[in-house]
Amino acid sequence: MPQTHVPLWLLVALQAAVSGVSLVVEIVAGRMLAPYVGMSLYTWTSIIAVVLAGFSAGHWWGGHIAERPARQALSHTAWVMLAAAISTAAALLVLRLIGGPVLAAVEHPVWNIVILTAGVFFLPSLFAGVPAPVLAQIAVMQQEAQSGRSLGAMFAAGAVGAIAGTLLAGFVFIPWLGTSLTLAIVTAIYLSAAALLFWLARPIKHKVVALMASVLVIGLGTLSLTRLSSCTTESQYFCIRVLDVSADSGSPVRRLVLDHLSHGTSARDLPRTMFSEFTAMFDEIARGRLEPGPFSAFFIGGGTFSVPRAWADRNTGPITVAEIDPQVTSTAVRDFWLEPASMTILNEDARVALHRRPDARYDVIVGDAFGDIAIPPHLITQEFFRLVRSRLSDDGIFLMNVIDFPDRLQALSAITATLNSVFASVEIWTEQSLPTPGEQRVFVLVAADRPTDFSVVTAAAPEQTRFAAMAKSFTDGLVAKSAPAILTDDFAPIDRLLGGHLR
């Protein structure tokens, strides 16, 4: 029999609280890692694997602690909760300290994700896994006549707590409070759990109280001084940063960074100037095919709204932009001189937006929601391209950017083949220069019912750059050589195709 009695409801509440905040940390992990390694299938796979590994090791450790007398087990678990509070409070600082060195030392993108995740989140998960077997053991020993019900209540408390923590992290903590304050709340809850466990394992020594007070002060101080990569705004989707890249303070130029990737640059006084290769190609190819216009346009993704802003300045025709993150739109209005009255802005997923407007027709649809290894899979499938085709006018065109490695081109080949299954003509445009070894090359795919009448354009990006369409023989040969599977809603392994060069 245990040496102290703990009400079952208190054990259940404690288990739910610890389980809940441990899942909050798991969700916050995605936001914390995104500015360093982006948010992709690899990132979430690493987070889930590391957190589960930590929980498993913690449960094993907690099982050994649970074999001790109740007071001693509670005291040991209290110390573990102190360690959980310390490791959670230090998570942002640890990530800041090891993030740069790991990325510099480990070139393999998947391995640096795994190492960063383990270095920051294994210990908090390890400590969070310890209380469950200890509390369950005490509950069962105290309720021998109803041990099954007690055990079931403890398992249910863990599951309910995890659900609540997940919902609170995604819908309340991160979007409304931010990462630092969320971790401060988790730290405070771990400290409260430690205090409760020490109280249950009475008597409490004065040095324990002093230590807990020190952890609280130091931990919350660390969190207040360590913010997540200086995010300008933390939204439901991104860590949003606005960087001033002006050469002249009197003529401001700003860059938008979402998580770890640049998503556009705009100048206040040069609304028609493009600062990236793919936006320059979007602008020149679309206007070259559709002018003198007017023409209607639909954009998949907003970012800095560079091309929509340029076309609004040229008065090319009605413009609709589907930007899923309202905070990105607000940032574009506040920091990138976007005039929202000049276009229709839909803060929803582009595929949903197109699906909800079956009667809408556009002369050009521009896919600008793609970058690095973080590509929305549902926006590159045959089903989506068919939806795009159904929303185009009779002579409409679809343009989308793709970033791939010229020495492989597996992603480019698969997306081209998928577009070929829907459109009569698919062209691959890129800068008219030889790639350098290991370079990531920016491509723009142009899909329509007829080929483009021209094959070369010169545009400012912002320096004058020549872009050209690859010969049809190259496009056909690329697809024939790699024989890619058609990407569908059921199977679109874009992370693997882009990450194939990592093997």
CATH number where 479 lies: 3.40.50.150
259's tokens = 């998580």
The verdict on residue 17 lying in a domain is: yes
Residues 215, 277 within the same domain: no
Residues 188, 331 within the same domain: no
Residues 310, 391 within the same domain: yes
Give residue 360's Cα distance to chain centre.
30
Residues 99, 201 within the same domain: yes
Q: What is the model's pLDDT at position 455?
A: 94
The verdict on residue 34 lying in a domain is: yes
Could you tell me which of 117, 135, 99 has the C-alpha nearest to residue 52? Answer: 117
Residues 312, 408 within the same domain: yes
Q: What is the model's pLDDT at position 346?
A: 96
The verdict on residue 306 lying in a domain is: yes
Residues 194, 273 within the same domain: no
Runs of H (alpha helix) within 67-173:
70-89, 91-105, 109-128, 131-142, 147-168
CA 25/CA 129 separation, integer angstroms? 13
Could you tell me which of 250, 160, 89 has the C-alpha nearest to residue 168? Answer: 160
- Cβ–Cβ under 8 Å, residues 106 and 177: no
488's tokens = 């569908």
DSSP of 158-198? HHHHHHHHHHHIIIIIIIII-HHHHHHHHHHHHHHHHHHHH
Residues 153, 277 within the same domain: no
Mean per-residue pLDDT pooled into runs of 10, the chain (503 residues)? 72 96 93 80 90 97 94 92 91 89 85 93 97 94 79 93 93 83 90 89 67 64 56 80 90 90 90 93 96 93 94 96 94 96 95 94 91 76 96 96 87 94 96 82 95 93 92 89 90 76 43
Q: What is the DSSP letter of 500?
A: G
Residues 205, 334 within the same domain: no
The verdict on residue 1 lying in a domain is: no
Residues 196, 296 within the same domain: no
User: CA neighbours within 13 Å on the CB side: how many for 16?
Assistant: 14
Could you tell me which of 142, 97, 136, 100 has the C-alpha nearest to residue 14? Answer: 136
Could you tell me which of 431, 435, 441 has the C-alpha nearest to residue 402? Answer: 441
Q: What is the model's pLDDT at position 501?
A: 44
Could you tell me which of 37, 469, 127 has the C-alpha nearest to residue 285? Answer: 469
User: Given 208, 229, 250, which residue is the final one in a domain?
Assistant: 229
Residues 281, 198 within the same domain: no
Q: Total structural domains in the chain?
A: 2
- Report the Cα–Cα distance between both ends of the chain, in Å, rounded: 55
CA 468/CA 427 separation, integer angstroms? 10
The verdict on residue 348 lying in a domain is: yes
User: Given 189, 208, 229, which residue is the final one in a domain?
Assistant: 229
The verdict on residue 247 lying in a domain is: no
Q: What is the model's pLDDT at position 218?
A: 65
Q: Kindly give, in sequence order, each residue whose CB lies less than 8 Å from that of residue 1, ignoring residues fewer than 6 positions away.
A: 141
CATH number at residue 69: 1.20.1250.20
The verdict on residue 235 lying in a domain is: no
The verdict on residue 244 lying in a domain is: no
Residue 487, domain extent: 260-502
Residues 187, 291 within the same domain: no
Residues 202, 74 within the same domain: yes
